[in-house]
């Protein structure tokens, strides 16, 4: 049971570079989301999707793009990396609803120099 798989686990970028964080889930969940986690600030929602072809912005969307062409995959693209985007990124999926549990990947640690 793979659950939610994120790649890469670690990445170092230079300011201005672009990259894509990959996320895949094998639980047929409608809902997928990307969070960033910074010390003392908890989890902040970047973008989310409630189904293939449907995406929306979360709390901190600037500098990031997403797409959802399939139920399984939800990649996060950093367009032009900035040091402020140094963080740990988590992909999560779930069925939604009042008691819907979120299943998280192991995280991707990104450093922007």
> Applying CB under 8 A, which residues contact another protein?
4, 31, 33, 40-45, 48, 50, 90, 92, 94, 96-102, 104-107
Beta carbon of residue 96, minimum distance to another protein (angstroms, whole number): 4
DSSP letter at 84 equals G
Residue placing its CB nearer to another protein in the complex, 17 or 22: 22
Residue placing its CB nearer to another protein in the complex, 16 or 100: 100
Beta carbon of residue 97, minimum distance to another protein (angstroms, whole number): 6
Structure token pair of residue 75? 């990649």
Burial profile 38-76: b = 16 or more Cβ within 10 angstroms, e = fewer: eeeeebebbbbbeebeebeebebbeebebebeebbebbb
Beta carbon of residue 6, minimum distance to another protein (angstroms, whole number): 8
Cis peptide bond prior to 95, omega within 30° of 0: no
Residue placing its CB nearer to another protein in the complex, 50 or 82: 50
Residue placing its CB nearer to another protein in the complex, 16 or 26: 26
Burial label, 30 (beta-carbon count in 10 A; 0-12, 13-18, 19+): middle
């Amino acid at each position: 049971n793979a659950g939610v798989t994120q790649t890469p686990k670690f990445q170092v970028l230079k300011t201005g570079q672009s990259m894509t964080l990959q996320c895949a889930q094998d639980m047929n969940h409608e809902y997928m989301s990307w969070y960033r986690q910074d010390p003392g600030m908890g989890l902040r929602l970047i973008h989310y999707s409630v189904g293939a072809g449907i995406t929306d912005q979360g709390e901190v969307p600037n500098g990031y793009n997403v797409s959802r062409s399939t139920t399984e995959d939800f990649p996060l693209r950093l367009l032009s990396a900035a040091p402020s985007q140094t963080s740990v990124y988590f992909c999560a999926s779930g069925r939604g609803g009042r008691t819907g549990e979120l299943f998280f990947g192991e995280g991707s640690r990104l450093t922007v120099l």
